[in-house]
Structure 1
Amino acid sequence: MAVIELERPKLAPARMRPRDVMRVGAVGLRTRPLRAFLSALGIAIGIAAMVAVVGLSSSSGAELDRQLSALGTNLLTISAGNTLTGEQATMPTDAEAMIERIGPVESASSIGKVADAKVYRTEQIPEAQTNGINTYAARLDLPATVGATLSSGTWLDAATERYPAAVIGASTAQRLGIGSVTVDTQIVVGGIRFSVVGILEPVALAAELDSGVMIGWPVAEQRLGFDGHPTTLYTRAEEAKLESVRQVLAGTANPEAPNEVDVARPSDALAAKQATSQAFANLLLGVGAVALLVGGVGVANTMVISVLERRAEIGLRRSLGATRGQIRTQFLAESLLLSALGGTGGILLGTGVTTGYALYSGWPSVVPAWATMGGLAATLLIGALAGLYPAIRASRLSPTEALSTP
Structure 2
Amino acid sequence: MTGIRDRAHPAPPTPPPPPPEPSRLLPADVLRLGAVGLRARRSRVVLSALGIALGIATMVAVVGLSESSRADLMARLDRLGTNLLTAEVVPDTGGREVRLPKSAVAMVERIGPVEHATATGQVDARIRRSAVVPPERTAGVTAQAARTDLLAALGARVARGVWLDRASERLPVTVLGALAAERLGVTAPGETIVMNDERMVVVGILEPVELVPTLDRVALVGFPAAEEYFGFDGHPSMVFERSPDATVDDVREVLARTVSPGAEGYIKVSRPSDALAAKAATDRGLTALMLGLGAVALLVGGVGVANTMVISVLERRPEIGLRRALGATRGAVRAQFLMESLLLSALGGAAGALLGTAATYGFALAQGWRPVVPLWAPAGGLAATLLIGAVAGLYPAVRASRLHPTEALKGT
TM-score class, shorter: over 0.9
Change beyond 3 A, Cα 1:131–1:12: farther
Report the Cα distance in structure 2 between the residues aligned to 1:127 and 1:102, rounded to whole angstroms: 43
Deviation for aligned residue 1:134:
1.4
1:210 aligns to what SS in structure 2? Answer: helix
2:115 aligns to what SS in structure 1? Answer: strand
Aligned to 2:266: 260
Aligned to 2:129: 121
CA contact (8 A) 1:329 1:391 kept: yes
Deviation for aligned residue 1:216:
0.8
- What are the equivalent positions in structure 2 for 1:294-305 lying under 5 Å apart? 294-305=300-311
Structure 2: gaps spanning 5 or more residues = 1-6
Deviation for aligned residue 1:119:
1.6
What root-mean-square deviation, in Å, do the aligned CA atoms of Structure 1 and Structure 2 show?
Answer: 1.6
CA contact (8 A) 2:189 2:204 kept: no
Code of the residue aligned with 1:104 in structure 2: it is P
Aligned to 1:11: 20
CA contact (8 A) 2:127 2:135 kept: no
Deviates more, 1:21-30 or 1:123-132: 123-132
Q: Which has the larger radius of gyration?
A: 2
Structure 1: gaps spanning 5 or more residues = none
Deviation for aligned residue 1:141:
0.4
TM-score (norm 1): 0.96
Which string of whole-angstrom CA distances, capped at 9 and with x for unpartnered residues, describes residues 281-334 of structure 1?
Answer: 111111111111111111111111111111111111111211111111111111
| Corresponding residue to 1:144 among 152, 162, 167 | 152
| Corresponding residue to 1:170 among 151, 175, 178 | 178
Report the Cα distance in structure 2 between the residues aligned to 1:372 and 1:201, rounded to whole angstroms: 37
Report the Cα distance in structure 1 between the residues aligned to 2:15 and 2:410, rounded to whole angstroms: 34
Matched, 1:269 2:269: no
Code of the residue aligned with 2:370 in structure 1: it is P
Report the Cα distance in structure 2 between the residues aligned to 1:7 and 1:88, rounded to whole angstroms: 113
Change beyond 3 A, Cα 1:21–1:191: farther
Matched, 1:31 2:37: no
Matched, 1:72 2:86: no
Deviation for aligned residue 1:127:
3.2
Among the aligned pairs, what percent are the same residue? 57
TM-score (norm 2): 0.94
CA contact (8 A) 1:81 1:88 kept: no
Deviation for aligned residue 1:131:
2.4
Report the Cα distance in structure 1 between the residues aligned to 2:394 and 2:97, rounded to whole angstroms: 70
| Corresponding residue to 1:82 among 76, 91, 96 | 91
Change beyond 3 A, Cα 1:377–1:19: same
- Tell me the matched-pair count: 403
| Corresponding residue to 1:355 among 354, 358, 361 | 361
Code of the residue aligned with 2:383 in structure 1: it is A
Report the Cα distance in structure 1 between the residues aligned to 2:261 and 2:397, rounded to whole angstroms: 80
Report the Cα distance in structure 1 between the residues aligned to 2:268 and 2:395, rounded to whole angstroms: 64
Aligned to 2:109: 100
Deviation for aligned residue 1:215:
0.8
Report the Cα distance in structure 2 between the residues aligned to 1:212 and 1:90, rounded to whole angstroms: 20
Aligned to 1:155: 163
CA contact (8 A) 1:316 1:403 kept: yes
